Amino acid sequence: MNETDLWTLSVILGLAVVTVVARSFFFISSQSWQLPNWAQRGLQYAPIAALSAVVIPEVITVQGELVSTWQDARLYAAVVGVAAYFWRRDVLITILAGMAVYLPLRLGLGW
């Protein structure tokens, strides 16, 4: 084994140890952990914040630039998906409604 392989192996093992320790930190302690109320309330908003951080830029930009035309299937699919969610409050219906608009516009019209 050359020096690069040994270095790579040691980095992988070190990262594995750090990951195991970090993920099992709460199981190692014998005390029960309780988050403060402000942290529990903040964590309630984490999923929607993460989803918006991923989805919104994908819908409104093309290769880092804002969408310059209304002939973009993602815009219409997003609007229909949001409307379907507020209508039924069901994530599966949201996805199906958005894709039902997106696919014909993208595949049929080439938007």
Give the range of the structural domain holding residue 19, as residue numbers without chain letter.
1-33
Please state, in angstroms and rounded to a whole number, the distance separating the CA atoms of residues 109 and 32. Answer: 57
Q: What mean pLDDT is reported for the chain?
A: 89
pLDDT tens, position by position, 86-106: 999 998 999 999 999 999 999
40-67 pLDDT, tens digit each: 998 898 888 888 899 889 888 888 888 8
Please indicate, yes or no, if residue 49 is contained in any of the structural domains. no
Q: What is the pLDDT of residue 51?
A: 84
User: Is 93 contained in some domain?
Assistant: no
For the chain, give the number of residues: 111
With contact defined as beta carbons under 8 Å apart, do 50 and 43 qualify? Answer: no
Place of tokens 């918006």: 52
Q: Is position 23 within any domain?
A: yes
Element (H, E) at 29: none
Instruction: Tell me, yes or no, whether 21 lies in a domain.
Output: yes
Number of domain units in the chain: 1
